[in-house]
Structure 1
Amino acid sequence: MFDDGEAQQVLRALVGKFGKSGTEQPAVAELEATARRLAEAFEFDVDIESIVLQAREQISHRMGEGVSLLGPDAAHDPKWLSHRSIEWKYSDSYLEFLRQDGWSPRIADTLGGVTRRLVGYLQDPDVEGSWDRRGLVIGHVQSGKTANYLGLVARAADAGYKFIVVVAGIHNNLRRQTQERVDEGFVGEVSDPARKEKLKAQTGTSKIGVGLVDPDHRRPVSLTSTADDFKKAVATSLRSGLEDWSKPVIVVIKKNRSTLKALNDWLVDFNRDPGQKQIANIPMLFIDDEADNASINTNKPELKPTTTNRLIRNLLGLFRKSCYVGYTATPFANIFINPEAYDEESRKDLFPEHFIHCLDAPDNYFGAERLFLDDNSKARHIKAISDCEDIIPLKHAKTHEFSELPKSLKEAIRSFLLVRAIRTARGQQKKHCSMLINVSRFVDVQREVDRQVTEYLEELRNAILACAGMPEEIADRNPHLAAIRSTFETLKFNEARIDWKEVLTFLPDASRSVVTAVVNSKSPDGLNYAEFSDRGEALNVIAIGGLSLSRGLTIEGLTISYMYRNTKMYDTLLQMGRWFGYRPGYEDLCRVWLAPDSIGWYTHISEASEELRDRIKEMNRVNATPRTFGLMVESHPDSLTVTAMNKMRAAETRTVSVSYDGKLVETYVLSRAEKPHEENRALFERLHSLLVDEHADQLVRGGERPASRVWRGVPADVVNDFLADFRVHAHSAERLMSARKYLSLIKERFPVWDIAFVSLANAGGKSDSTRFGEFHMVHQSRSAGTSEDKLKEIEGGLFVTNNQRVAGTGDESAGLNSEEMDAAMKVAASRDREKWTDRDTRHVSVRGAPLLMLHLIDLENPLVESDENKLLKGAPAIGLSFPATGDFSTVEYVLNQVMIKQLESEQFDAADEEDDYDRDDAAIDSGEAA
């Protein structure tokens, strides 16, 4: 068996050589040759194939920088970082620590860029006066949020923030785990006295993480440790206030009212000048981890805020210079905070008015989308529980008794032993390996599960030790060993590049190493990964718990998960998914057992979460701000709720139509800025080239716009890709996003679209045009209004017309053949024309497919009578014309206050009957083209 420590040294050297940002992916042969040279130089006997496989994985990984919504604030200079010379000592040490800890160099570099961007969203700590900033960072469950905010902490300390508060969940074990991460990534030294002594005895130093990376590391002042939360008496005994320390001061506290009160009291008593309401000269950064949990004010608006929410707001109010940044993977409760909420004592609520940043997960993230929205992955990794209800029901009392474990749980335990053995065979014997069992919130039931799991483990262990070395035909007669072999084959572990005979050689050590641990509020020391790491060993543990395993806590090396719980809230269910995260070198071995209902729920929540992220990305493209960003989360049609009802007091559930049956959706608000129009014209040109190159035989003429270019029968994906890149004004973004959702709903019924580049006949070449290849697309003139009060401006954009229309009357006929035009005339003859003066729908009824119309608009100011009256020239706009099918589908959404106000304000002027939009009544009456 190869030595894992030696293999890791070779791996780090290999990744360090080839993994830098900007370098090309090296060939396998080059990696193998370099790995062999390194192994020979170190005189190591290592598994070259395994090292190269892991190196390729690390080198190839990427991570995007995410997207942000920024609130305009005159008091904040967004470029303040560029005006100062900052030595990034803490930050550079932290990023180097990540690289040495096995992070892909590219991902570490990207994280450095993201945290630099985030610290820029904070205020310059050197700015005088009184200011506060409020922001929210949205990540994925177990995706590296802690790593991100540690990077932000390091950058903020470098920039001059003097006091940093990290609030780490509501449980002791989560606070302790976060303190360990802070010690490692920022402080640089072990804070637990017992562990410090052991580590000094083993290695000669108590330094860890960044303390080992940089010998000259300037250790911050930490007023908390892994052993102790913040205590006012301890802080007071130091006889120093925040201004007395030259180094940054950090505290890692539990989100608990008594702790928050103690910290508030210490700040008031020992740091605030007598007679002053605020601490004047100490810039403060407040990191609220799991910001959707306990921080939210769940009281009714007419009541005082809840205690925890009030204490957080009070603490922020104690500083003249403060920044609040919430971190969460489940932002549903945060987006429902009323942005106008205010209390005289506690001041404004925690709405992230200044910025919302949505983190990208690295491409090796093992998350909800991969597990529940990818059918192949879902079939491999997800297993349905069908036999637990009769033994440990979803609803049971704290005194519930049972005499045996469900067969599915026994199968999961067997699979865990197999995974430990296979990972050892892969050279990962020194990597932590864990299993999660979450079937009850009651401590007594958890203890009984632990007792029976321990008994079953002992039975398996005895069978393995007794029979693993025997001939195969004899070993298979043992029922326990036969069951393990059956699990190996049934769960397809035999596809993991290892055969049963090899597994048998590693099973004895695997079975000896596995222990169990009950993890709840009464057993704080269950998962002591750090102590095992200090000894260079792996903790192989089956963690049994409830609430403590349901949020925030990282279960290292998690491979097997067994959860049978009945919570019905999006955020709680996602947070219970401790199996999300990173599984380098063993993702193929992970398995998750869930109740059938839970599998369906996770699928729905994954889709709703992705839609929420898409909404943020779309609003980023149109430069929306947190205060103008209307958010809505799709409701579950049956029994799930988005979050706890008392967290949604400012939210409303409404049925929102996603049907555009027979409707025309247009981008009738145009930006004043020229850049979006330049980008959209380039997008028009790319689409035109694609259609010319790949769909030449589908080009047609016809209808009342014979000068237009029309392609018929184009795949719907072409339209969807175009819409994903088309830039719209923020006012049109919600409408376009809903239309894209509807497009996905009707894709099966309408797999192809028509696409029209709408152009008028250019008599005498008098009208402006734009050239795409050999095609001259004539601009369409539109008015911005007909009177001064109708010359409307919205957030820097202009209405195309006072009745919000882009297409002319004949535009939707583009590309129709003579038979279709005759049919349209018969439709027109059968209707009362007075009922369709604002839009001619006769062509929609005969086309039989959706139509994408592309327009170039010359926007004119009707109040200026001269050739200089054009507000915009050649501004791209689009229209989506959906056929009438009679189908009408709706979706229930939960809306935040911003979205509610947006929907309620969708009141525009009635159609102006004098504006005919290229209408030629004589042509319509005769059936001829205008």
Structure 2
Amino acid sequence: MENEKENLEAKKNFTVSLITAAKTRWSEYVPKREEVDALAVDLAKVLGLDEGDAISCAKEAYYEIDSRMGLGVSLVDPEATHDKEWVYKRKDIEWYYSDAYEKHLKKEKWSPTVVQSLSDVGTKILGHLQDPTSPGVWDRRGLVIGHVQSGKTANYLGLVAKAADAGYKFIIVIAGVHNNLRKQTQERVDEGFVGRTRVEDKWKIVGVGHDDYPHPATLTNIYADFNKRTADHSGWSINDFSQPVILVIKKNVSTLKSLHRWLDELNSKGHGKIKDVPMLMIDDEADNASINTKKEDTDPTQTNRRIREILSLFDKSCYVGYTATPFANIFINPDAYGDEQLREELFPRDFIYCLDAPTTYFGPDRVFLDEDSSDRILETIDDAENYIPFVHKKDFDVQDLPPSLYRAIRQFVVVKAIRKIRRQDEKHCSMLVNVSRFVDVQKLVRTHISVYLKKLKEAIKANYLMPDSVSQKNENMEKLKQVFEAGFNDADVSWEELKRALYDAVESIRTFVVNSKSDEPLDYKKYERDGHGLTAIAVGGLSLSRGLTIEGLCISYMYRNTRMYDTLMQMGRWFGYRSGYDDLCRVHLPQDSIDWYSHIAISSEDLRDQVIQMRLDGLSPKDFGLYVMSHPDTLLVTAANKMRSAESITVRQNYSEKAVESDILPNERSINDFNQRLIAEYWKENFGVEDRKILPTVGGKGWYLGDVDTNKIVEFLNQFKCSPKTSEKRNFALKYLNSIINKYACSDVALVSEKPGTLEHDYTLSPRTRRATFVKGESNWRVNQARVGGRHEHYGLSQEQRDAAMEKAVADAKEKGRDIKKPADRYYRVERNKPLLIIYNLNLVDGDNENVSVPAFVLSFPKVDYFHTVSVVANRVYLEKSIGIDLDTLIQDEVEDDDE
């Protein structure tokens, strides 16, 4: 055991040394992989490390060497008098906690460049807070927007450390709504700030802690949330401590109430305020406090009220919310609270800061938007409904698992074996299974998985040392080989080599049920302390859906029916950092979820881009809040919550720089034939203009009509027959188009065709093939990734406009530490000075199903302004059409926890 620990520590130290040496040698450019390998071999000779281990470390080191991170961007109130330069003006600050934290990150093998960027970002955010030495009474409110699993915790720990150095004396971190999330956050805070942790009844030095480290005081630990009785018994008050005090508490009404009472009774003496104690509150997953629920301990009004009450006890306070889902209810649900003041108190009126993810982040764009990588990573679940339906009760009897889940388990065994061959056996390796919110159903799923793993283990044990002529007669061995050859034969591992590693791989797998009632926690730290990596299959529900980090996640299998943006994105536990094994990651989802994730990824990126643009325009966080509230996608985000007590809602919609697509298309031949004739009719007349030009595409596949009367486009789209699931979306967009028609009397039209030769003869457009999902029960087609077009919105733009779009896209990408080849369509919309209608003819393909010549459209809007909106009314019928499932079922699935 000690030898394993020593070997693990030696490899960690070697990797850090290699990264440092590489950064020193190649300070001007990023080296090639071969150069890093050669340096690793030379360094291994000096340090006495095995060459094989050195090459394994080199692969991980290269991942870090190539890692870069932008500094993000902030949006502040331009009229505020706040001096964000106070951090740089104060010369008395000794960055003791901050320096210790950065050293800790480097020891944990974080890239030095990323650590430096993290430090710079932390300093910028600290500047948006108030100088804790400022006199008088003050409060600041802000929001930090990050990415799911991208390092938000690391960021706010850096902020906590810097705030403590600057003089903030009382720090509260509000973690998730479940005990395991609070415990996980406490472990991170202990390692990165407190410097010691509670192990049973003793304190143990961890992370930043060392002999002369000035440990902050804490009233919570990994075993216990804040308890007023314990705090009262201690007799402590805040001013009794020379070092800062930090608490990590669960987002629970009872806990918040207890903390408020203790602060009020002992520290403000039951009257007045707590004076001269600058307080910082970090609200992790800030949007989660606003989810509507009938459960008392997570009621949003009470949660919000208790947070406000705690803040109001201090005469000097700062509140910073952290979220990865900027469609959070703090922006979009102004009717959630009857008390206007209650709502306004937590609104980030002072600043919004958008974090950049490092270039090595395994995020939504890579999984869902990059066609090359998404084709490899994504696998469609199309067989689960007959085994574990989307909608089921808590006593549902799982008779068997879907074949696709068994296949995912085989993938996990293969991936674990490959990682073992890559000498990553001491690293965590996990699989996520999220198919139900009910505890009893989760337990049944785990039982089936365990039974199957036993069968695999028996088959592997009997055959893994046998030649193929013998081993492959076994059905399970043959299926493992098929999985390997279908998806992992490019992993620099032969089947013979892999086969020999299979037994140790499957033998190491443990299964867990992860929820608030679990009797065996998913404790990665325990295995780290023993010098091992944990190999786990985690089966769960909401605990796997928000906040909980699944270490070393390789295979994800999720079959859930949510369509709410924040919940769906938070379920994306597969996002994060996959050093040395990103090529092995697979994500199994139903096609519907894949399409929605793609759409959300685009929408979330759009919001981040708007922060940049609004900053350039001199606007404030309040303007951003108004923008989010009027975003077309907001309707779906808030729909379920708002439809609890009302039959209809009125919302303000803004389509500036947005595109509306007919992504759900009818399967009825009569409807599609009608639309074909409609296109031909308007095409013969050139939509009322004389001049037409060949589209600027290879081979001139299509035509462009400039300066078409916008009324003509409204007329055409009003006649265009849509699927019932897109008709209302089309109608909302047309209402907006009509509202701006005085300003945009002319628009452009593009007709896209794969074979230009047919255009002159019969005024039809030859179809372009598009992958889609055929929904049998609805007789509809859902275009994959919810996108009809894709990077076609440059049609009609001048070369100068296209160059400007490219320049802006490159600048934004550089700011985020990325490279791009072609601008996304949203950059073309910024340059466009009128609306654009693009008409397609699609050949839809879904396996053996095919539908040829299905007309579709994209209506793209230019930049109008942030405040031009139209009122639209939506009812339950519309929302259920748009969301695609029964609204009552959706509401229940989102608000009930997995304790049933």
The change in CA–CA distance for 1:273 and 1:884 in structure 2 (over 3 A counts) is closer
Gaps of 5+ in 1: 198-205, 662-711, 718-745, 754-804, 813-847, 855-877, 905-930
Superposition map of 1:697-736 within 5 A: none
- Please tell me the residue identity of whatever aligns with 2:19: V
Instruction: Provide the residue aligned with 2:242 in structure 1.
Output: 246
Name the structure 2 match of 1:25: 30
- Candidates 207, 210, 220, aligned match of 1:209: 207
Q: Secondary structure of the equivalent of 2:556?
A: strand
Supply the distance in 2 between the matched residues of 1:40 and 1:453 (Cα, whole angstroms): 45
Task: Report the counterpart of residue 645 of structure 1 in structure 2.
Answer: 642
Report the equivalent of 1:78. 84
Q: Which amino acid aligns with 1:144?
A: G
1:66 equivalent in alignment to 2:64: no
Deviation at 1:424, TM superposition (A): 0.8
Structure with greater helix percent: 2
Match for residue 458 of structure 2 among 442, 457, 462: 462
2:292 touches 2:641 (CA, 8 Å); kept in 1?
no
What is the RMSD of the two structures over their aligned residues, measured on CA atoms? Answer: 3.8
2 CA distance for matches of 1:162 and 1:502? 57
Alpha carbons 2:179, 2:250 under 8 Å: kept: yes
1 CA distance for matches of 2:175 and 2:164?
Answer: 19
Structure 1 residue 338, shift from structure 2 partner: 4.5
Q: 1:623 aligns with which of 600, 618, 625?
A: 618
Deviation at 1:17, TM superposition (A): 2.1
Task: Supply the distance in 2 between the matched residues of 1:395 and 1:341 (Cα, whole angstroms).
Answer: 30
Alpha-carbon offset, residue 405 of structure 1: 1.3
State how 1:391-406 maps to structure 2 within 5 Å.
Answer: 391-406=387-402
In 2: Cα distance, 1:438 partner to 1:166 partner: 28
**3-state DSSP class of the match of 2:288?**
coil
Q: What's 1:108 paired with?
A: 115
1:161-209 CA distance string (max 9 Å, x none):
0000000010000000000000000011122426x58xxxxxxxx2111
Pairing 1:579–2:574 present: yes
Change beyond 3 A, Cα 1:881–1:153:
closer
2:46 maps to what in 1?
Answer: 41
1:231 to 224, 227, 232: 227
SS of the residue aligned with 1:620? helix
Structure 1 residues 80 and 639: alpha-carbon distance in aligned structure 2, compared to 1, 3 A threshold: closer
Q: Measured at CA, do residues 234 and 620 of structure 1 come closer, stay the same or move farther in structure 2, by a change above 3 Å?
A: same
Task: Specify the code of the residue in structure 1 equivalent to 2:607.
Answer: L
> Amino acid of the residue matched to residue 561 of structure 2?
N
- Indicate which of 57, 65, 69 corresponds to 1:51: 57
Of the two, which has the highest radius of gyration? 1
Residue deviations 1:697-756 (CA, integer Å, cap 9, x gap): xxxxxxxxxxxxxxx999799xxxxxxxxxxxxxxxxxxxxxxxxxxxx99865999xxx
Q: Name the amino acid aligned to 1:211.
A: G
* Alpha-carbon distance between aligned partners in 1 of 2:164 and 2:645, rounded to the nearest angstrom: 35
Alpha-carbon displacement from aligned partner over 1:500-538 (angstroms, at most 9, x marks no partner) = 111112111111110000001101642110010001101
Give the aligned partner of residue 530 of structure 1. Answer: 525
Q: Is 1:543 equivalent to 2:541 in the alignment? A: no
> 2:428 aligns to what?
432
Which AA in structure 1 matches 2:567?
Answer: T
Give deviations 1:606-641, integer Å, cap 9, x for gaps.
111121122122112223211233424754699776
CA contact (8 A) 2:326 2:607 kept: no
Measured at CA, do residues 648 and 314 of structure 1 come closer, stay the same or move farther in structure 2, by a change above 3 Å?
Answer: farther
Cα distance in structure 2, aligned partners of 1:324 and 1:559: 35
Deviation at 1:298, TM superposition (A): 8.3
CA distance in 1, matches of 2:473, 2:831: 71
Partner of 2:265: 269
- Count, aligned residues: 696
- C-alpha offsets along residues 238-283 of structure 1, whole Å, 9 cap, x if unaligned? 211001111000000000000000000000011004542x111110
Distance 1:648 1:25 in 2: 57
In structure 2, the residue corresponding to 1:494 is in which secondary structure? coil
Q: TM-score, normalised by structure 2?
A: 0.71
* Change over 3 Å in CA distance of 1:853–1:39 after alignment to 2: closer
Find out whether 1:185 has 2:188 as its counterpart: no
Instruction: Report SS of the residue matched to 2:198.
Output: coil
Residues of 1 paired with 2:540 and 2:861: CA distance?
35
CA contact 2:652–2:869 (8 Å) conserved in 1: no
2:835–2:861 CA contact under 8 A, matched in 1: no
In the alignment, structure 1 residue 132 sits paired with structure 2 residue 135: no
Distance 1:361 1:338 in 2: 30
Distance 2:476 2:167 in 1: 61
CA distance, structure 2, for counterparts of residue 751 and residue 417 of structure 1: 56
Aligned counterparts of 1:378 and 1:465: Cα–Cα separation in 2: 34
Assess, with a 3 A threshold, how the Cα gap between structure 1 residues 318 and 901 changes in structure 2: closer, same or farther.
farther
Matched, 1:292 2:276: no
Q: Give the letter aligned to residue 175 of structure 1.
A: R
> Structure 1 length normalisation: TM-score?
0.69
Cα 1:280–1:806 shift into 2, 3 Å: same
Q: Secondary structure at the match of 2:197?
A: coil
- Which piece of structure 1 moves more, 109-118 or 519-528? 519-528
1:386 match: 382
2 CA distance for matches of 1:476 and 1:879? 60
**What residue in structure 1 maps to residue 11 of structure 2?**
7
Q: CA deviation at 1:138?
A: 0.3
Structure 1 CA distance for aligned equivalents of residues 859 and 277 of structure 2: 52
After TM superposition, list the pairs within 5 Å mapping 1:314-333 onto structure 2.
Answer: 314-332=309-327, 333=329
- Counterpart of 1:913 in structure 2 is none
**Contact persistence 2:837–2:858 (CA under 8 A):** no
Q: Which residue of 2 aligns with 1:171?
A: 178
For the residue of structure 2 that corresponds to 1:495, the secondary structure is coil
Residue identity matched to 2:50: D
What fraction of aligned residue pairs are identical, expressed as a percent?
A: 46
Separation (CA, whole Å) in 1 of partners of 2:489 and 2:360: 23
CA contact (8 A) 1:532 1:538 kept: yes
After TM superposition, give the deviation of residue 430 of structure 1 in Å: 0.4
State which of 409, 417, 430 in structure 2 corresponds to 1:421. Answer: 417
Q: How does 1:526-925 map to 2 (within 5 A)?
A: 526-629=521-624, 630-632=626-628, 635=632, 644-645=641-642, 652=651, 654=653, 656=655, 750=704, 849-850=796-797, 882=834
1:39-74 CA distance string (max 9 Å, x none): 223222132433333222211111001111011465
1:265/1:886 CA distance change after superposition, 3 Å: closer
- Asked if 1:142 corresponds to 2:149, the answer is yes
C-alpha distance in 2 between matches for 1:647 and 1:80: 47
**Counterpart of 1:70 in structure 2: which amino acid?**
V
Report the residue type matching 1:463 in the other structure.
Answer: A
